[in-house]
Amino acid sequence: MHPARIIARKRDGHELACGEIDDFLHGFAQGSIPDYQMAALAMAIFLRGMTTEETAALTDAMLTSGVRMEWPDDGRPVVDKHSSGGIGDKTSLILAPLLAACGMRVPMISGRGLGPTGGTLDKLESIPGFRTDLSLGEIHETVGRVGCVITGASAEIAPADRKLYALRDVTATVPSIPLITASIMSKKLAESLDALVLDVKFGSGAFMKHIDVARKLARSLVATGQRMGVRTTALLTDMNQPLGRMAGNLVEVHESLACLRGEGPADLWECTRALAAELLIGTRGSGLGDREGEAPAEPEKLLDDAISSGRALAKFAEMVAAQGGDLDRLSPMPAGTDVIADRSGFVSAIDAEALGHAIIELGGGRKVMTDRIDHAVGLEMLIRLGDEVRAGQPLVRLFGSPDQVAHLPPHLAATISLADEPPSLLPLIAERIE
Amino acid sequence: MHPARIIARKRDGHELACGEIDDFLHGFAQGSIPDYQMAALAMAIFLRGMTTEETAALTDAMLTSGVRMEWPDDGRPVVDKHSSGGIGDKTSLILAPLLAACGMRVPMISGRGLGPTGGTLDKLESIPGFRTDLSLGEIHETVGRVGCVITGASAEIAPADRKLYALRDVTATVPSIPLITASIMSKKLAESLDALVLDVKFGSGAFMKHIDVARKLARSLVATGQRMGVRTTALLTDMNQPLGRMAGNLVEVHESLACLRGEGPADLWECTRALAAELLIGTRGSGLGDREGEAPAEPEKLLDDAISSGRALAKFAEMVAAQGGDLDRLSPMPAGTDVIADRSGFVSAIDAEALGHAIIELGGGRKVMTDRIDHAVGLEMLIRLGDEVRAGQPLVRLFGSPDQVAHLPPHLAATISLADEPPSLLPLIAERIE
């Protein structure tokens, strides 16, 4: 292998061979390719792009830099969901036990808060004792016994991705569709999945502000997953306002519990159920709900049953206990301070990213990786897009000490635009990509 | 400074501010910016380009990473030439003493062979004792006393360029016009020049095969030099056959001596004289040859006089002695082995690069940087483009031991194409860029 020649070929817009990508990435993971050559290649990939074939090879190289999970060949499907992240996005907390309650294995590897969006692991750590650092052995054992787990990536999973991500962060090569695709998919495919669904969010509270970019990423993720033999679909979902009412850590756990009891906000359940249904459809024929000779059950019905029967909630409690958490010691919902509308009108736009930054300011997220999180802070949306409000009506409830709230930037109300006319509303689930 | 943000701006095609470029490059030179960030920026520059303003800022940052030469303010112009390199290009050996004989200071910093083209320093080291590692103090002293010097870059000259060049070499970011421009110009402008001429070569024996690319580079070099306050012009010269008859090291010293005696090949003198004339014109009014009230002398006449009077040759001998060389101990021209035409016809094309590689095969150049050079090997062109030859007539004379010559790839004659019709010939000096 001649690394500079491989870099030059990508620089000049050529398609790299799978073997070239594999050699380069393994060399990088093992240290024989230095950071500066990987940085030059990453920038060339950023500016020249990659075909699906190349992206799949990159994903595979990162995946095979580490270990893959192994599951018994017992027909029980292994599934997972990945979200591109958004304010108030707590679907993972509901979806993993929900699908486990439907008989699936859900070995969910999650992440921490990134920029203004919260992280599933941070949210779960609001539960006293909850461990997010399970070993590979513990993941296998817990998924086998409980059906699901939500934990951080162990060091054995796609180490090349970890190394490359750290490098991309300091070389301005993060927002590249093939590099994002390989980073997401290498970790997810290390779970040895039968089906994967991607929740690709767009709007004011998502990394991608416009649906076009979200669609591009979704297509790349789906094509790469399919190319690698995993049934993969994606939903493009609207993130122009927080998902559900709660945003923060502890308050999102409370809202997830409400949703698992069948008492959550409609949008949160709609989104979670649609994502879960993709995985039921994706693994149809695996014997779940559709017995030989019977017509397959409607996936939505299976999911509604898992909630109404209390099985999904019980599964969540089981998972929490298996990961060392103690739900009995969960702090109650904190008291809040309301932000008041200074005029009347229809809610026409919500700057969800600014709300995410407000949570960080309160102490609920990190400005630098070493910051400690105050899990109790957060906010509750008291209105939704399209609502008619009157001057003096509360818009947002802030959770935090008076001192924390006093330190927020003024004019938080300005993150919610009020107009004389009602806005046209978008559907929550904008598109499905398969 | 936020290095990743600067990289991101260039990645997205924005123009960087001078201060950003300066901070980044000085950080790189001093080690606070790691190689991987410089590699990512270099690739972004490669693919996005740079404006003249940015290229000048990059040149200036590399230049000011080291020391600049300082010359007495006595009206004696300081000039130099840079060539993009070509087979048989020995103009530096003639031009430096020629201009010194015309009263100029020529503190010429030269390089070694690169790929198939020879290097001025390697050629001069054919002279026993000749030192190419003069200190900055020795450069100043010798130029002050003799008028010219030809030596390698001392470590104090543009250290950022040395560090960046090594990085570019392994990150596939060498053939970038702004990066090449800054590399060349930072070293040349560290000489504190009044005028600079660039010999940008194109054709089968040059790095740039097509005149369009050469023109782009020439324009970038000239614009950057002008932008930095140095009178800079460029000649685009044809390199579709070796310049002069000799290519190698020792044999090129012999040919340069012949040229300094007025007995060199016409093309070599034409090229050297045109380049030197640019510098006489560029520094006109500085009191050389055109005294108050007199019409300025024709530069070509001044140059011819310097040759015919023997002053240029004497200056060469003086320079060689000052740099420790002993011309009396110069090996005589070696014996040769002729390559014979296998058909009759007109010389229609010469693969000068292949001839350059043949010299490397003989041992006259390096395959890896640590190779030692056999100065005595080389070749002599016995024909030129357009010549009519007969089958059996010698085309090229190879200098090397029978063993060295036997190890050459067969069919060396195939590097010289013979056609039934005479080719149309191009002028040696194709264009002038100012």
B-chain residues near A1 (CB < 8 A): none
A-chain residues near B171 (CB < 8 A): 4, 7, 36-37, 39-40
Say how far apart CA B261 and CA B329 lie, in whole Å.
Answer: 19
Q: Which residues have CB under 8 Å from A123's CB, separation 6+?
A: A90, A93, A249, A250, A252, A253, A256
Mean pLDDT of B1-6: 91
Q: How many CB atoms lie within 10 A of CB A402?
A: 8
What would the pLDDT profile of B423-433 be if each residue is shown by its tens digit? 999 999 999 99
* Structural contact between residues B329 and B321, judged by C-beta atoms closer than 8 angstroms: no
What would the pLDDT profile of B21-58 be if each residue is shown by its tens digit? 999 999 999 999 999 999 999 999 999 999 999 999 99
Mean pLDDT of B313-323: 98
B-chain residues near A24 (CB < 8 A): none
Residue matched to tokens 């380069």? A24
CB contact under 8 A, A46 and B5: no
* Structural contact between residues B48 and A47, judged by C-beta atoms closer than 8 angstroms: yes
φ/ψ of residue A394, rounded to 5: -70, 140
**pLDDT of B293 strictly over 70:** no
Say how far apart CA B427 and CA A257 lie, in whole Å.
Answer: 84
Q: Which of B288, B394, B385 is nearest to B341 (CA)?
A: B394
A-chain residues near B167 (CB < 8 A): 36
**pLDDT of B294 strictly over 80:** no
Mean of all residue pLDDT scores within chain B = 94
Q: Which of A57, A111, A88 is nearest to A248 (CA)?
A: A88
- Distance between A41 CA and the closest CA of chain B, angstroms: 8
pLDDT on residue B286:
62
φ/ψ of residue B145, rounded to 5: -85, -50
Say how far apart CA A29 and CA A44 lie, in whole Å.
Answer: 19
Q: Which residue has the higher pLDDT, A14 or B153?
A: A14
pLDDT on residue A59:
97
CB contact under 8 A, B47 and A43: yes
- Distance between A410 CA and the closest CA of chain B, angstroms: 28
Q: Specify the DSSP class assigned to residue A175.
A: S
**In chain B, what percentage of residues exceed pLDDT 90?**
85
What would the pLDDT profile of B194-205 be if each residue is shown by its tens digit? 999 999 999 999
- Distance between B47 CA and the closest CA of chain A, angstroms: 7
Q: What tens-digit pLDDT sequence spans chain A (434 residues)?
A: 799 999 999 999 999 999 999 999 999 999 999 999 999 999 999 999 999 999 999 999 999 999 999 999 998 999 999 999 999 999 999 999 999 999 999 999 998 877 788 899 999 999 999 999 999 999 999 999 999 999 998 889 999 999 999 999 899 999 899 999 999 999 999 999 999 999 999 999 999 999 999 999 999 999 999 999 999 999 999 999 999 999 999 999 999 999 999 999 999 999 999 999 999 998 986 655 454 555 567 899 999 999 999 999 999 999 999 999 999 999 999 989 999 999 999 999 999 999 999 999 998 988 777 788 999 999 999 999 999 999 999 999 999 988 888 888 777 888 999 999 999 999 999 999 99
Q: Which residues have CB under 8 Å from B433's CB, separation 6+?
A: B200, B215, B218, B219, B222, B233, B234, B235, B236
Alpha-carbon distance values, B145 to A143, A237, B149 (Å): 84, 78, 10
Pick the residue from chain B with its C-alpha nearest to A13. B47
Residue matched to tokens 């650092």? A133
Alpha-carbon distance values, A377 to A120, A171, A370, A404, B298 (Å): 15, 33, 18, 9, 84
Q: What is the pTM of this model?
A: 0.87
Pick the residue from chain B with its C-alpha nearest to A42. B40
CB contact under 8 A, A40 and B169: no
**pLDDT of B410 strictly over 80:** no
Tokens representing residue A186 in the block? 């290498």
What would the pLDDT profile of B166-222 be if each residue is shown by its tens digit? 999 899 999 899 999 999 999 999 999 999 999 999 999 999 999 999 999 999 999
φ/ψ of residue B424, rounded to 5: -80, 135
Mean pLDDT of B76-96: 96
pLDDT on residue B370:
79
pLDDT on residue A407:
84
B-chain residues near A39 (CB < 8 A): 35-37, 39-40, 43, 171
Return the half-sphere exposure (C-beta side, CA atoms, 13 A cut-off) of residue A371: 18
B-chain residues near A14 (CB < 8 A): none
CB contact under 8 A, B170 and A3: yes
pLDDT on residue B375:
94
- Distance between B357 CA and the closest CA of chain A, angstroms: 20
**What's the order of all strands across the beta sheet hosting B195-202?**
B79-83, B195-202, B231-238, B429-433
pLDDT on residue A294:
54
Q: Which of B133, B169, B126 is nearest to B149 (CA)?
A: B133
**DSSP 3-state percent helix, strand, coil across chain B (nearest 5):** 45, 15, 40
- Please give the radius of gyration of chain B, using alpha carbons only, rounded to the nearest integer: 22
Q: Which residues of B touch A (CB under 8 A)?
A: 3-5, 7-8, 11, 34-40, 42-44, 46-48, 167, 169-173
Mean pLDDT of B335-350: 95
CB contact under 8 A, A35 and B40: no
CB contact under 8 A, B11 and A42: no
* Structural contact between residues B59 and A62, judged by C-beta atoms closer than 8 angstroms: no
A-chain residues near B43 (CB < 8 A): 7, 11, 39-40, 43-44, 47
Q: Which of A114, A92, A86 is nearest to A209 (CA)?
A: A86
Q: Determine the residue type at A185.
A: M
* Structural contact between residues B213 and B202, judged by C-beta atoms closer than 8 angstroms: yes
pLDDT on residue A210:
96
Residue B111 pLDDT level (bands cut at 50, 70, 90): confident
Pick the residue from chain A with its C-alpha nearest to B169. A4
Mean pLDDT of B109-114: 85
Catalytic residues of A: 82, 161, 168, 183, 187
**pLDDT of B407 strictly over 90:** no
Say how far apart CA A136 and CA A156 lie, in whole Å.
Answer: 8
Catalytic residues of B: 82, 161, 168, 183, 187
Of A4, A43, A167, nearest to B170 by CB-CB distance is: A4
CB contact under 8 A, A47 and B42: no
- Please give the radius of gyration of chain A, using alpha carbons only, rounded to the nearest integer: 22
User: N- to C-terminal Cα distance for chain B?
Assistant: 36
- Distance between A1 CA and the closest CA of chain B, angstroms: 13
Q: Determine the residue type at A118.
A: G
Q: Which of B361, B364, B393, B394 is nearest to B378 (CA)?
A: B364
- Distance between A26 CA and the closest CA of chain B, angstroms: 17
Q: List the beta bridge partners of residue A196.
A: A80, A232
